[in-house]
Structure 1
Amino acid sequence: MSAAAHVPPSDPAERVVNGPTPKHAQLREILRRLVERELPPGSPIPSERELAQLYGVSRLTVRSAIGKLVEEGLLARVRGKGTFTAARRMELQVYLMSFTDDMRRRGLTPTTEVISTSTEVPPVTSAHALGLAEGVPAHRLVRLRRADGVPLAVERGWYHAGRTPGLLDLDLTRSLYAQLADAFSLRPDRAYQTVWAESADRETARLLGMRTGSPLLVFRRVSSSGGEPVEDMTSWYRGDHYQVTMQLDRNTPGSGDQPHNGGIR
Protein backbone atom coordinates (compact mmCIF):
# COMPACT_ATOMS: atom_id res chain seq x y z
CA MET A 1 0.00 0.00 0.00
CA SER A 2 2.86 2.39 0.76
CA ALA A 3 4.07 2.21 -2.85
CA ALA A 4 0.69 3.57 -3.94
CA ALA A 5 0.36 6.00 -1.07
CA HIS A 6 -0.30 8.95 -3.36
CA VAL A 7 -2.73 7.19 -5.73
CA PRO A 8 -6.40 7.75 -4.76
CA PRO A 9 -8.34 4.49 -4.16
CA SER A 10 -10.41 3.40 -7.17
CA ASP A 11 -12.91 1.37 -5.13
CA PRO A 12 -15.65 3.66 -3.73
CA ALA A 13 -15.84 1.45 -0.64
CA GLU A 14 -12.24 2.40 0.11
CA ARG A 15 -12.81 6.16 -0.04
CA VAL A 16 -13.57 8.59 2.74
CA VAL A 17 -16.51 10.82 1.78
CA ASN A 18 -18.63 13.54 3.32
CA GLY A 19 -21.73 12.07 4.90
CA PRO A 20 -23.45 11.06 8.13
CA THR A 21 -20.65 8.66 9.14
CA PRO A 22 -17.68 10.52 10.66
CA LYS A 23 -14.57 10.43 8.53
CA HIS A 24 -12.47 8.85 11.28
CA ALA A 25 -14.99 6.00 11.53
CA GLN A 26 -14.91 5.47 7.74
CA LEU A 27 -11.13 5.41 7.72
CA ARG A 28 -11.04 3.06 10.70
CA GLU A 29 -13.13 0.49 8.82
CA ILE A 30 -10.99 0.85 5.69
CA LEU A 31 -7.86 0.22 7.73
CA ARG A 32 -9.53 -2.66 9.56
CA ARG A 33 -10.26 -4.40 6.24
CA LEU A 34 -6.68 -3.82 5.14
CA VAL A 35 -5.28 -5.32 8.34
CA GLU A 36 -7.63 -8.30 8.45
CA ARG A 37 -7.50 -9.24 4.75
CA GLU A 38 -4.17 -8.16 3.31
CA LEU A 39 -1.42 -7.45 5.85
CA PRO A 40 0.30 -10.24 7.81
CA PRO A 41 1.17 -9.70 11.50
CA GLY A 42 4.07 -7.33 12.03
CA SER A 43 3.57 -5.42 8.77
CA PRO A 44 4.06 -1.64 8.85
CA ILE A 45 1.20 0.57 7.76
CA PRO A 46 1.72 3.90 5.95
CA SER A 47 2.58 6.96 8.01
CA GLU A 48 -0.08 9.39 9.20
CA ARG A 49 1.05 11.86 6.52
CA GLU A 50 0.74 9.25 3.75
CA LEU A 51 -2.69 8.12 4.92
CA ALA A 52 -3.91 11.71 5.17
CA GLN A 53 -2.80 12.38 1.58
CA LEU A 54 -4.17 9.11 0.26
CA TYR A 55 -7.66 9.49 1.73
CA GLY A 56 -7.93 13.29 1.67
CA VAL A 57 -8.39 13.70 5.42
CA SER A 58 -6.58 15.51 8.21
CA ARG A 59 -3.81 13.91 10.22
CA LEU A 60 -6.04 14.31 13.29
CA THR A 61 -8.63 12.09 11.57
CA VAL A 62 -5.94 9.53 10.77
CA ARG A 63 -4.64 9.61 14.33
CA SER A 64 -8.14 9.04 15.71
CA ALA A 65 -8.79 6.07 13.39
CA ILE A 66 -5.44 4.45 14.19
CA GLY A 67 -5.89 5.05 17.91
CA LYS A 68 -9.14 3.10 17.96
CA LEU A 69 -7.53 0.15 16.16
CA VAL A 70 -4.64 0.23 18.61
CA GLU A 71 -7.17 0.06 21.48
CA GLU A 72 -8.80 -2.94 19.79
CA GLY A 73 -5.44 -4.68 19.47
CA LEU A 74 -5.38 -4.76 15.65
CA LEU A 75 -2.50 -2.28 15.45
CA ALA A 76 0.48 -1.60 17.67
CA ARG A 77 2.56 1.56 17.90
CA VAL A 78 6.33 1.16 18.29
CA ARG A 79 8.05 4.28 19.53
CA GLY A 80 10.44 5.69 16.94
CA LYS A 81 9.50 3.10 14.30
CA GLY A 82 5.85 3.57 13.37
CA THR A 83 2.63 1.59 13.52
CA PHE A 84 2.41 -2.11 12.72
CA THR A 85 -0.25 -4.77 12.45
CA ALA A 86 -0.40 -6.58 15.77
CA ALA A 87 0.40 -10.23 16.28
CA ARG A 88 -2.65 -12.47 16.08
CA ARG A 89 -4.12 -13.23 19.48
CA MET A 90 -3.30 -16.61 21.03
CA GLU A 91 -6.06 -18.78 22.37
CA LEU A 92 -5.94 -18.88 26.17
CA GLN A 93 -7.10 -22.40 26.91
CA VAL A 94 -9.16 -23.20 29.98
CA TYR A 95 -7.29 -26.21 31.29
CA LEU A 96 -4.67 -26.87 33.92
CA MET A 97 -1.29 -26.37 32.22
CA SER A 98 1.75 -24.35 33.17
CA PHE A 99 2.70 -21.25 31.16
CA THR A 100 6.02 -22.93 30.29
CA ASP A 101 4.37 -26.03 28.87
CA ASP A 102 1.74 -23.97 27.06
CA MET A 103 4.32 -21.77 25.30
CA ARG A 104 6.46 -24.75 24.33
CA ARG A 105 3.40 -26.46 22.91
CA ARG A 106 2.92 -23.40 20.68
CA GLY A 107 6.53 -23.56 19.49
CA LEU A 108 7.56 -20.47 21.50
CA THR A 109 10.48 -20.09 23.91
CA PRO A 110 9.25 -19.22 27.43
CA THR A 111 11.32 -17.24 29.91
CA THR A 112 10.52 -16.08 33.43
CA GLU A 113 11.76 -13.13 35.46
CA VAL A 114 11.24 -13.23 39.22
CA ILE A 115 10.08 -9.76 40.28
CA SER A 116 9.76 -10.34 44.03
CA THR A 117 9.42 -13.04 46.68
CA SER A 118 8.42 -12.89 50.34
CA THR A 119 6.78 -14.82 53.15
CA GLU A 120 4.05 -12.81 54.82
CA VAL A 121 0.46 -12.89 56.00
CA PRO A 122 -1.79 -13.00 52.93
CA PRO A 123 -5.03 -11.09 52.42
CA VAL A 124 -8.11 -12.67 53.96
CA THR A 125 -9.40 -13.93 50.60
CA SER A 126 -6.13 -15.73 49.82
CA ALA A 127 -5.84 -17.13 53.34
CA HIS A 128 -9.36 -18.54 52.99
CA ALA A 129 -8.58 -19.98 49.54
CA LEU A 130 -5.48 -21.74 50.89
CA GLY A 131 -7.24 -22.97 54.04
CA LEU A 132 -5.00 -20.93 56.35
CA ALA A 133 -5.98 -19.63 59.76
CA GLU A 134 -5.89 -15.89 60.39
CA GLY A 135 -2.35 -14.57 60.78
CA VAL A 136 -0.61 -17.62 59.27
CA PRO A 137 1.98 -16.58 56.64
CA ALA A 138 2.18 -17.83 53.07
CA HIS A 139 4.75 -17.55 50.30
CA ARG A 140 4.27 -14.61 47.94
CA LEU A 141 5.68 -14.79 44.42
CA VAL A 142 5.51 -12.24 41.60
CA ARG A 143 6.86 -13.21 38.17
CA LEU A 144 6.92 -11.78 34.64
CA ARG A 145 6.38 -14.33 31.87
CA ARG A 146 7.70 -13.87 28.34
CA ALA A 147 7.47 -15.84 25.10
CA ASP A 148 10.15 -15.30 22.45
CA GLY A 149 11.19 -12.26 24.47
CA VAL A 150 7.75 -10.61 24.42
CA PRO A 151 6.23 -9.91 27.88
CA LEU A 152 2.83 -11.61 27.99
CA ALA A 153 1.76 -12.00 31.61
CA VAL A 154 2.37 -10.89 35.16
CA GLU A 155 1.67 -13.51 37.82
CA ARG A 156 1.13 -12.67 41.48
CA GLY A 157 0.57 -15.75 43.58
CA TRP A 158 0.26 -16.99 47.16
CA TYR A 159 1.43 -20.50 48.09
CA HIS A 160 0.69 -22.60 51.17
CA ALA A 161 3.97 -22.37 53.11
CA GLY A 162 3.26 -25.46 55.17
CA ARG A 163 3.00 -27.60 52.04
CA THR A 164 5.83 -25.88 50.16
CA PRO A 165 8.65 -25.27 52.67
CA GLY A 166 11.68 -23.77 50.99
CA LEU A 167 9.73 -22.87 47.84
CA LEU A 168 11.34 -19.44 47.57
CA ASP A 169 14.82 -20.98 47.64
CA LEU A 170 14.20 -22.88 44.41
CA ASP A 171 14.96 -21.75 40.86
CA LEU A 172 11.67 -19.94 40.27
CA THR A 173 12.60 -19.02 36.69
CA ARG A 174 11.67 -22.60 35.83
CA SER A 175 8.17 -24.03 35.52
CA LEU A 176 6.55 -23.67 38.93
CA TYR A 177 4.41 -26.76 38.50
CA ALA A 178 7.53 -28.79 37.70
CA GLN A 179 9.14 -27.41 40.86
CA LEU A 180 6.12 -28.30 42.98
CA ALA A 181 6.24 -31.85 41.64
CA ASP A 182 10.01 -32.30 41.99
CA ALA A 183 10.49 -30.70 45.41
CA PHE A 184 7.23 -31.42 47.20
CA SER A 185 5.52 -34.21 45.22
CA LEU A 186 2.63 -31.81 44.63
CA ARG A 187 0.90 -32.07 41.28
CA PRO A 188 -2.01 -29.64 40.94
CA ASP A 189 -4.85 -31.73 39.56
CA ARG A 190 -7.87 -29.52 40.19
CA ALA A 191 -8.47 -25.78 40.07
CA TYR A 192 -11.22 -23.19 40.19
CA GLN A 193 -10.62 -20.27 37.88
CA THR A 194 -12.34 -16.90 37.54
CA VAL A 195 -11.83 -14.64 34.52
CA TRP A 196 -12.47 -10.93 34.16
CA ALA A 197 -11.22 -7.90 32.25
CA GLU A 198 -9.59 -4.81 33.70
CA SER A 199 -7.34 -1.90 32.75
CA ALA A 200 -3.63 -2.10 33.44
CA ASP A 201 -2.44 -0.18 36.49
CA ARG A 202 0.86 1.67 36.27
CA GLU A 203 3.06 -1.14 37.64
CA THR A 204 1.49 -3.93 35.57
CA ALA A 205 1.61 -1.76 32.45
CA ARG A 206 5.30 -1.04 33.06
CA LEU A 207 6.15 -4.72 33.40
CA LEU A 208 4.22 -5.64 30.26
CA GLY A 209 5.52 -2.72 28.19
CA MET A 210 2.03 -1.27 27.74
CA ARG A 211 0.33 2.03 28.39
CA THR A 212 -1.45 2.50 31.71
CA GLY A 213 -5.12 1.71 31.14
CA SER A 214 -4.48 -0.85 28.38
CA PRO A 215 -6.88 -3.83 28.36
CA LEU A 216 -5.92 -6.97 30.26
CA LEU A 217 -7.45 -10.41 30.74
CA VAL A 218 -7.22 -11.44 34.38
CA PHE A 219 -7.33 -15.02 35.66
CA ARG A 220 -7.54 -15.98 39.32
CA ARG A 221 -6.80 -19.66 39.84
CA VAL A 222 -6.99 -21.60 43.11
CA SER A 223 -5.24 -24.94 42.56
CA SER A 224 -5.24 -28.07 44.69
CA SER A 225 -3.17 -31.23 44.80
CA GLY A 226 -4.82 -34.33 46.20
CA GLY A 227 -7.69 -32.23 47.51
CA GLU A 228 -5.44 -29.83 49.44
CA PRO A 229 -5.19 -26.19 48.27
CA VAL A 230 -1.67 -25.18 47.27
CA GLU A 231 -1.85 -22.07 45.11
CA ASP A 232 -3.90 -18.89 44.84
CA MET A 233 -2.54 -17.12 41.77
CA THR A 234 -3.81 -14.19 39.74
CA SER A 235 -2.39 -13.64 36.25
CA TRP A 236 -2.69 -10.48 34.16
CA TYR A 237 -2.46 -11.28 30.43
CA ARG A 238 -2.07 -8.74 27.65
CA GLY A 239 -5.45 -8.22 26.01
CA ASP A 240 -3.81 -7.49 22.66
CA HIS A 241 -2.16 -10.93 22.56
CA TYR A 242 -4.83 -13.25 23.96
CA GLN A 243 -8.42 -14.28 23.52
CA VAL A 244 -10.41 -16.91 25.38
CA THR A 245 -12.50 -19.59 23.69
CA MET A 246 -14.65 -22.01 25.69
CA GLN A 247 -16.86 -24.88 24.64
CA LEU A 248 -20.29 -24.66 26.26
CA ASP A 249 -22.56 -27.65 26.76
CA ARG A 250 -25.80 -28.12 28.61
CA ASN A 251 -25.67 -29.90 31.93
CA THR A 252 -26.86 -33.44 32.13
CA PRO A 253 -30.65 -33.86 32.58
CA GLY A 254 -31.84 -33.02 36.07
CA SER A 255 -28.86 -30.82 36.93
CA GLY A 256 -30.37 -27.54 35.80
CA ASP A 257 -30.70 -25.60 32.61
CA GLN A 258 -27.57 -23.42 32.80
CA PRO A 259 -24.76 -24.05 30.30
CA HIS A 260 -21.30 -24.79 31.63
CA ASN A 261 -17.83 -24.81 30.11
CA GLY A 262 -15.78 -27.88 29.47
CA GLY A 263 -13.89 -27.37 32.70
CA ILE A 264 -10.21 -27.83 33.42
CA ARG A 265 -8.68 -30.83 31.74
Structure 2
Amino acid sequence: MEPSAPARQPATAKRDGVRRHLLDLIEQAGPGSALPAERDLALRLGVSRPTVRAAIDDLARTGLLVRQQGRGTFTSPHKITQELSGGTTNAFAVPPAEGYWTSRVLSFRITPAGAPRATRLKLSPALPVLRIVRLRLVDEEPMAIERIDLPAALVPGLAERDMESGNFYQLLRERYDVVVADAIQTIEPTVTNPDQADLLDVPVYAPVLLIERTTRDTAGRIVEFARSIYRGDRYRITSKLRFDSSSG
Protein backbone atom coordinates (compact mmCIF):
# COMPACT_ATOMS: atom_id res chain seq x y z
CA MET A 1 0.00 0.00 0.00
CA GLU A 2 1.54 3.27 -1.08
CA PRO A 3 1.95 5.99 1.59
CA SER A 4 -0.58 8.78 1.27
CA ALA A 5 0.62 12.21 0.21
CA PRO A 6 0.94 14.82 2.99
CA ALA A 7 -2.16 16.92 3.44
CA ARG A 8 -1.99 20.30 1.79
CA GLN A 9 -2.03 23.27 4.11
CA PRO A 10 -5.39 25.08 3.80
CA ALA A 11 -5.27 28.52 2.18
CA THR A 12 -6.63 30.15 5.34
CA ALA A 13 -3.83 28.59 7.42
CA LYS A 14 -1.24 29.90 4.96
CA ARG A 15 -2.77 33.37 5.15
CA ASP A 16 -2.77 33.23 8.96
CA GLY A 17 0.93 32.32 8.86
CA VAL A 18 1.67 35.28 6.59
CA ARG A 19 -0.39 37.51 8.88
CA ARG A 20 1.63 36.47 11.93
CA HIS A 21 4.86 37.17 10.03
CA LEU A 22 3.59 40.61 9.01
CA LEU A 23 2.56 41.39 12.60
CA ASP A 24 6.12 40.55 13.70
CA LEU A 25 7.49 42.90 11.01
CA ILE A 26 5.12 45.67 12.14
CA GLU A 27 6.19 45.24 15.77
CA GLN A 28 9.89 45.41 14.87
CA ALA A 29 9.62 48.31 12.42
CA GLY A 30 8.99 51.95 13.28
CA PRO A 31 5.95 53.95 12.16
CA GLY A 32 5.87 54.60 8.43
CA SER A 33 8.40 51.84 7.58
CA ALA A 34 8.28 50.15 4.18
CA LEU A 35 7.48 46.45 3.98
CA PRO A 36 9.22 44.09 1.54
CA ALA A 37 7.52 43.72 -1.83
CA GLU A 38 4.75 41.13 -2.13
CA ARG A 39 6.92 39.01 -4.46
CA ASP A 40 9.80 38.95 -1.96
CA LEU A 41 7.46 38.07 0.91
CA ALA A 42 5.90 35.26 -1.15
CA LEU A 43 9.32 33.76 -1.94
CA ARG A 44 10.51 34.09 1.65
CA LEU A 45 7.41 32.44 3.11
CA GLY A 46 6.81 29.87 0.38
CA VAL A 47 3.30 31.02 -0.47
CA SER A 48 1.58 32.60 -3.45
CA ARG A 49 1.41 36.34 -4.02
CA PRO A 50 -2.43 36.34 -3.73
CA THR A 51 -2.05 34.82 -0.25
CA VAL A 52 0.37 37.59 0.74
CA ARG A 53 -1.91 40.21 -0.78
CA ALA A 54 -4.95 38.89 1.14
CA ALA A 55 -3.04 39.03 4.46
CA ILE A 56 -1.87 42.58 3.72
CA ASP A 57 -5.43 43.60 2.83
CA ASP A 58 -6.65 42.23 6.18
CA LEU A 59 -4.11 44.31 8.12
CA ALA A 60 -4.73 47.39 5.97
CA ARG A 61 -8.43 47.25 6.87
CA THR A 62 -7.53 47.33 10.57
CA GLY A 63 -5.22 50.34 10.05
CA LEU A 64 -1.96 48.51 10.86
CA LEU A 65 -0.71 48.79 7.28
CA VAL A 66 -1.13 51.48 4.63
CA ARG A 67 -0.94 50.92 0.89
CA GLN A 68 0.44 53.80 -1.17
CA GLN A 69 -0.22 53.65 -4.90
CA GLY A 70 3.03 53.22 -6.83
CA ARG A 71 5.17 53.15 -3.67
CA GLY A 72 4.29 49.96 -1.80
CA THR A 73 3.03 49.00 1.64
CA PHE A 74 4.02 50.75 4.86
CA THR A 75 3.40 50.37 8.56
CA SER A 76 0.97 52.95 9.88
CA PRO A 77 2.55 56.38 10.45
CA HIS A 78 3.10 57.93 13.87
CA LYS A 79 -0.19 58.60 15.65
CA ILE A 80 -1.03 62.07 16.92
CA THR A 81 -1.72 61.76 20.63
CA GLN A 82 -4.27 63.76 22.61
CA GLU A 83 -3.83 63.27 26.34
CA LEU A 84 -6.69 63.63 28.81
CA SER A 85 -5.21 64.15 32.28
CA GLY A 86 -7.32 63.42 35.33
CA GLY A 87 -7.61 66.45 37.60
CA THR A 88 -8.67 66.74 41.22
CA THR A 89 -12.36 66.49 40.20
CA ASN A 90 -14.16 64.04 37.95
CA ALA A 91 -13.29 66.14 34.89
CA PHE A 92 -10.25 65.88 32.63
CA ALA A 93 -7.74 68.56 31.77
CA VAL A 94 -7.12 68.83 28.02
CA PRO A 95 -3.55 69.74 27.01
CA PRO A 96 -2.86 70.68 23.38
CA ALA A 97 -2.57 67.75 20.98
CA GLU A 98 0.73 67.01 19.27
CA GLY A 99 1.75 68.62 15.99
CA TYR A 100 1.06 71.87 14.14
CA TRP A 101 -2.70 72.14 13.55
CA THR A 102 -4.31 74.21 10.80
CA SER A 103 -7.72 74.05 9.13
CA ARG A 104 -9.34 74.37 5.73
CA VAL A 105 -12.87 75.76 6.05
CA LEU A 106 -15.33 73.74 3.96
CA SER A 107 -18.56 75.51 4.96
CA PHE A 108 -19.33 78.66 6.93
CA ARG A 109 -22.95 79.82 7.13
CA ILE A 110 -25.63 81.19 9.45
CA THR A 111 -29.05 79.52 9.47
CA PRO A 112 -32.00 79.30 11.87
CA ALA A 113 -31.23 76.78 14.59
CA GLY A 114 -34.09 74.43 13.82
CA ALA A 115 -35.30 71.84 16.31
CA PRO A 116 -32.29 69.46 16.61
CA ARG A 117 -29.64 72.16 16.96
CA ALA A 118 -31.86 74.30 19.18
CA THR A 119 -32.16 71.35 21.55
CA ARG A 120 -28.40 70.82 21.57
CA LEU A 121 -27.63 74.49 22.18
CA LYS A 122 -30.62 75.25 24.43
CA LEU A 123 -31.87 77.96 22.04
CA SER A 124 -35.14 78.96 20.44
CA PRO A 125 -35.44 77.18 17.04
CA ALA A 126 -35.84 80.56 15.30
CA LEU A 127 -32.53 81.97 16.58
CA PRO A 128 -29.57 81.98 14.18
CA VAL A 129 -26.78 79.43 14.52
CA LEU A 130 -23.36 79.60 12.87
CA ARG A 131 -22.36 76.23 11.45
CA ILE A 132 -18.70 75.74 10.54
CA VAL A 133 -17.34 72.64 8.83
CA ARG A 134 -13.59 72.42 8.52
CA LEU A 135 -10.92 69.91 7.62
CA ARG A 136 -8.33 69.77 10.39
CA LEU A 137 -4.74 69.19 9.31
CA VAL A 138 -1.67 68.26 11.35
CA ASP A 139 1.65 69.18 9.76
CA GLU A 140 -0.35 69.58 6.50
CA GLU A 141 -1.80 66.03 6.64
CA PRO A 142 -5.60 65.59 6.93
CA MET A 143 -6.53 64.40 10.41
CA ALA A 144 -10.19 65.18 11.12
CA ILE A 145 -13.43 66.63 9.79
CA GLU A 146 -15.00 68.92 12.35
CA ARG A 147 -18.51 70.39 12.38
CA ILE A 148 -19.13 73.15 14.92
CA ASP A 149 -22.47 74.76 15.79
CA LEU A 150 -22.36 78.08 17.70
CA PRO A 151 -25.05 80.56 18.73
CA ALA A 152 -24.51 83.29 16.12
CA ALA A 153 -25.14 86.05 18.66
CA LEU A 154 -22.17 84.80 20.64
CA VAL A 155 -19.58 85.46 17.90
CA PRO A 156 -20.53 88.58 15.87
CA GLY A 157 -18.00 89.31 13.15
CA LEU A 158 -16.35 85.89 13.26
CA ALA A 159 -14.87 85.20 9.81
CA GLU A 160 -13.72 82.08 7.94
CA ARG A 161 -10.07 83.12 8.24
CA ASP A 162 -10.42 83.09 12.04
CA MET A 163 -11.02 79.34 11.85
CA GLU A 164 -8.01 78.47 9.71
CA SER A 165 -5.35 78.59 12.43
CA GLY A 166 -4.82 79.40 16.06
CA ASN A 167 -6.63 78.32 19.20
CA PHE A 168 -10.41 78.73 18.89
CA TYR A 169 -11.09 78.76 22.63
CA GLN A 170 -8.39 81.38 23.08
CA LEU A 171 -10.09 83.48 20.38
CA LEU A 172 -13.39 83.18 22.27
CA ARG A 173 -11.71 84.40 25.46
CA GLU A 174 -9.79 87.29 23.95
CA ARG A 175 -12.28 88.64 21.40
CA TYR A 176 -15.68 87.75 22.87
CA ASP A 177 -14.96 87.38 26.59
CA VAL A 178 -16.36 83.84 26.45
CA VAL A 179 -14.41 81.54 28.76
CA VAL A 180 -15.09 77.85 28.23
CA ALA A 181 -15.22 75.90 31.47
CA ASP A 182 -16.29 72.31 30.85
CA ALA A 183 -17.72 69.93 28.30
CA ILE A 184 -19.44 66.61 27.96
CA GLN A 185 -17.70 64.52 25.31
CA THR A 186 -18.46 61.10 23.86
CA ILE A 187 -16.14 58.96 21.74
CA GLU A 188 -17.13 55.95 19.68
CA PRO A 189 -15.76 54.02 16.70
CA THR A 190 -17.28 54.21 13.24
CA VAL A 191 -16.15 54.08 9.59
CA THR A 192 -15.89 56.61 6.78
CA ASN A 193 -18.41 57.16 4.01
CA PRO A 194 -17.11 58.01 0.50
CA ASP A 195 -17.14 61.81 1.04
CA GLN A 196 -15.32 61.56 4.36
CA ALA A 197 -12.80 59.09 2.96
CA ASP A 198 -11.99 61.48 0.10
CA LEU A 199 -11.38 64.41 2.46
CA LEU A 200 -9.28 62.38 4.90
CA ASP A 201 -7.35 60.57 2.13
CA VAL A 202 -8.23 57.11 3.49
CA PRO A 203 -10.16 54.16 2.01
CA VAL A 204 -13.95 54.02 2.23
CA TYR A 205 -15.02 52.27 5.45
CA ALA A 206 -11.69 53.10 7.10
CA PRO A 207 -11.91 53.17 10.91
CA VAL A 208 -12.41 56.58 12.51
CA LEU A 209 -13.27 57.99 15.92
CA LEU A 210 -16.55 59.89 16.16
CA ILE A 211 -16.27 62.56 18.86
CA GLU A 212 -19.21 64.70 19.98
CA ARG A 213 -18.72 67.55 22.45
CA THR A 214 -21.11 69.97 24.15
CA THR A 215 -19.21 72.87 25.72
CA ARG A 216 -20.30 75.33 28.42
CA ASP A 217 -18.72 78.61 29.52
CA THR A 218 -18.18 79.89 33.05
CA ALA A 219 -21.68 81.40 33.04
CA GLY A 220 -23.22 77.98 32.36
CA ARG A 221 -24.27 78.75 28.77
CA ILE A 222 -23.87 76.14 26.05
CA VAL A 223 -21.50 77.83 23.64
CA GLU A 224 -20.63 75.01 21.24
CA PHE A 225 -21.75 71.67 19.93
CA ALA A 226 -19.04 69.94 17.90
CA ARG A 227 -19.21 66.68 15.98
CA SER A 228 -15.93 65.43 14.55
CA ILE A 229 -14.44 62.33 13.00
CA TYR A 230 -10.73 61.62 13.50
CA ARG A 231 -8.63 59.17 11.52
CA GLY A 232 -8.33 55.91 13.42
CA ASP A 233 -4.94 55.16 11.85
CA ARG A 234 -3.39 58.49 12.87
CA TYR A 235 -5.09 59.71 16.05
CA ARG A 236 -5.33 58.28 19.54
CA ILE A 237 -6.48 59.50 22.94
CA THR A 238 -4.71 58.58 26.16
CA SER A 239 -5.89 59.20 29.71
CA LYS A 240 -4.54 58.95 33.21
CA LEU A 241 -6.80 57.18 35.65
CA ARG A 242 -7.00 57.42 39.42
CA PHE A 243 -8.49 54.66 41.57
CA ASP A 244 -9.94 54.69 45.04
CA SER A 245 -11.74 52.22 47.29
CA SER A 246 -14.92 52.47 45.21
CA SER A 247 -13.23 51.65 41.88
CA GLY A 248 -14.42 48.47 40.19
TM-score band by shorter chain is 0.7 to 0.9
Write the distance in 2 (CA, Å) between the matches of 1:82 and 1:66. Answer: 11
Q: Counterpart of 1:143?
A: 134
* 1:210 counterpart SS class: coil
Q: 1:20 to 1:47 in 2, by over 3 A?
A: closer
- Confirm whether residue 132 of structure 1 aligns to residue 146 of structure 2: no
Aligned with residue 196 of structure 1, among 146, 167, 188: 188
Q: Counterpart of 1:9?
A: none
* 1:102 counterpart SS class: coil
Q: 1:61 to 1:19 in 2, by over 3 A?
A: closer
Tell me the percent identity.
Answer: 33
Aligned with residue 102 of structure 1, among 84, 92, 97: 97
Q: 1:150 to 1:169 in 2, by over 3 A?
A: closer
Write the distance in 1 (CA, Å) between the matches of 2:103 and 2:174. Answer: 18
* 2:159 counterpart SS class: helix
| Count of residues in Structure 1 that have an aligned counterpart in Structure 2 | 232
- Confirm whether residue 93 of structure 1 aligns to residue 93 of structure 2: no
Q: Is the 8 A contact 1:223 1:230 kept in 2?
A: yes
Aligned with residue 83 of structure 1, among 61, 69, 73: 73
Q: Is the 8 A contact 2:32 2:78 kept in 1?
A: no
CA deviations 1:35-56 (Å, max 9, x no partner) are 112x112211111111112211
Write the distance in 2 (CA, Å) between the matches of 1:53 and 1:211. Answer: 28
Q: 1:96 to 1:128 in 2, by over 3 A?
A: farther
* Higher strand proportion: 2
Aligned pairs for 1:28-67 (under 5 A) are 28-37=19-28, 39-67=29-57
The farther-off stretch of 220-229 and 168-177 is 168-177
* 1:151 counterpart SS class: strand
Write the distance in 2 (CA, Å) between the matches of 1:78 and 1:244. Answer: 26
Q: Is the 8 A contact 2:189 2:208 kept in 1?
A: yes
Flag structure 2 segments of 5+ consecutive residues without an equivalent: 1-7, 85-91
Q: Counterpart of 2:215?
A: 223
Q: Counterpart of 2:106?
A: 115
RMSD: 2.3
Aligned pairs for 1:132-171 (under 5 A) are 132-168=123-159, 171=162
Q: 1:210 to 1:155 in 2, by over 3 A?
A: same
Flag structure 1 segments of 5+ consecutive residues without an equivalent: 1-16, 260-265
Q: Counterpart of 1:6?
A: none
Q: 1:46 to 1:97 in 2, by over 3 A?
A: same
Q: 1:229 to 1:250 in 2, by over 3 A?
A: same
* 2:210 counterpart SS class: strand
Write the distance in 1 (CA, Å) between the matches of 2:44 and 2:236. Answer: 33
Q: Is the 8 A contact 2:11 2:51 kept in 1?
A: no
* 2:239 counterpart SS class: coil
Q: Is the 8 A contact 1:96 1:190 kept in 2?
A: no
Write the distance in 2 (CA, Å) between the matches of 1:18 and 1:204. Answer: 41
TM-score with structure 2 setting the length: 0.85
CA deviations 1:176-233 (Å, max 9, x no partner) are 1122122101121100001111110122111110111111001101111111110000
* 1:132 counterpart SS class: coil
CA deviations 1:100-143 (Å, max 9, x no partner) are x423xxxx222211111000134533321211112322000011
Q: Is the 8 A contact 2:82 2:97 kept in 1?
A: no
Moved over 6 A (4+): none
Q: 1:172 to 1:96 in 2, by over 3 A?
A: farther
- Match of 1:236, as an amino acid? I
Q: 1:113 to 1:42 in 2, by over 3 A?
A: same
The farther-off stretch of 176-185 and 87-96 is 87-96
Q: 1:52 to 1:114 in 2, by over 3 A?
A: same
Cα deviation for residue 96 of structure 1 reads 5.6
